[in-house]
Amino acid sequence: MYTLLLLLCIVGFWLFENFYTPSPYSDPDSEAKPPFEKELLPSTTFNAIVTHDFYMLSYSEPHEQAEWVAYRLEKAHLTYEDRERPYFLEDPKVTSKSADWRNYRGSGYDRGHLCPAGDRRFSEFAYNETFYTSNISPQKNAFNSGIWNRLELQVRRWCKRYGTLYVITGGVLEEHLSEIGMEDVDVPEAFFKVVLRKREDNYKVLAFLIPHEESTKPLSEFLIPVDRLETVTGLDFFHGLHDDLEHEIEQRVEVSGWKF
């Protein structure tokens, strides 16, 4: 009898792990603002843009992850609510299906958030929404909990100091990357983050390109011009802005006005 009960428990646990899918994370009463301003969005390689309540993304089916995630961070978002971590779910808005979270199991890589869960603690729905698998990328634990986390914390400090920020982030997706899981999820060799703030027609932009390794170097050492980041990623940032303004903010690294 005990052997049979144990066997049933094992089978039940296996079925739960492999086939249970909770309901999608969406707020039926959502009145959220558009998560990002249209003219600030980067180009999309695969024309697979998904809009959630609190972030947007462009999904790359060949790489089984987002080529970029874009979100707005406001002072009101900076809360320290203790949220229960939900399940990772396939994104119901990705028509080609986003990668199953099980691709990461036993891979040695973290399910690294692109739009950080820590930036979305202000509501249960906003927090849970970051756990769609379209918003994660394989990251080494030392990188995810190290320099990448330090950059996320720095962005929150800037938001607290300067107000609303526009953030675009992702892995550098290219050919012949290492892969994990049965769906061949690509492992980026570098990650980028672009942070923009504006006041009327005054734009200030920082672009970071960080190798997929832990580092103790100052974050400022990973700054590059947006123009160079475009060459590395193949994306066109801020192409919705007037050409003169786009050229002005993309051609150089300008750290004045940013406290590190």
Does 140 fall in a domain?
A: yes
The enclosing domain of 51 has a CATH number of 3.40.570.10
Question: Does 160 map to a domain?
Answer: yes
Selected catalytic residue, list 113, 212, 239, 247: 113
Active site residue 113: yes
Report d(CA 72, CA 56) in Å as an integer: 10
pTM value > 0.85 = yes
**Cα distance between residue 63 and residue 99, in whole Å:** 9
User: Residue 21 pLDDT more than 60?
Assistant: no
Give the mean model confidence (pLDDT) for residues 45-73: 96
pLDDT grade, residue 69 (50/70/90)?
Answer: very high
Task: Look at residue 258 and tell me if it is in a domain.
Answer: no
> What is the tens place of the pLDDT at every residue in 194-212?
999 998 889 999 999 999 9
Range of the domain at 41: 2-250
C-alpha to C-alpha distances, 97 to 2, 55, 209, nearest whole angstrom: 41, 18, 28
In this structure, is residue 255 part of a structural domain?
no
Q: Is the pLDDT of residue 3 over 70?
A: no
Q: Is residue 243 part of a domain?
A: yes
In a domain, 233, yes or no: yes
CA distance 52 to 50: 7
Of how many residues is the chain composed? Answer: 260
Helix or strand (DSSP H, E) at 193: strand 190-199
For the chain, how many structural domains are there in total?
Answer: 1
